Amino acid sequence: MRVVGPVREAARLNPYAVAARYPGLDEPVTPREYTEALDLARTVVLWVESILGGTGPKQQERLRADGGSSTRDRQSGGNDV
């Protein structure tokens, strides 16, 4: 299975797992870090769904239903993640 570049970057999410498990060890997450992590997580979810065959509009809308679109969505017109 070929892993695309942005999905390989998912390793950058690991520190957030540690911070969630052991709160108070690191500085609070900034709004920019939050947005970047959320964008990366969405990219990974969409990649997995594309492999499993579930990347239709309903699945993409579900990812964006958290109250707003990501920075990347606003910059690209919402057509790619």
Domain boundaries, the chain: 5-76
Q: Go through 19-41 and write b for each residue having 16 or more CB atoms within 10 A of its CB, e for each that does not.
A: eeeeeeeeeeeeeeeeebbbbbe
The burial class, CB within 10 Å (0-12 / 13-18 / 19+), for 43 is buried
Q: What is the pLDDT of residue 68?
A: 45
For residues 77 and 34, which has the higher predicted lDDT (pLDDT)?
Answer: 34
Q: What is the pLDDT of residue 41?
A: 92
pLDDT band per the 50, 70, 90 thresholds, residue 34: very high
pTM over 0.85: no
* Overall size of the chain counted in residues: 81
Which tens digits make up the pLDDT trace of 50-75?
A: 888 865 666 666 666 654 444 444 34
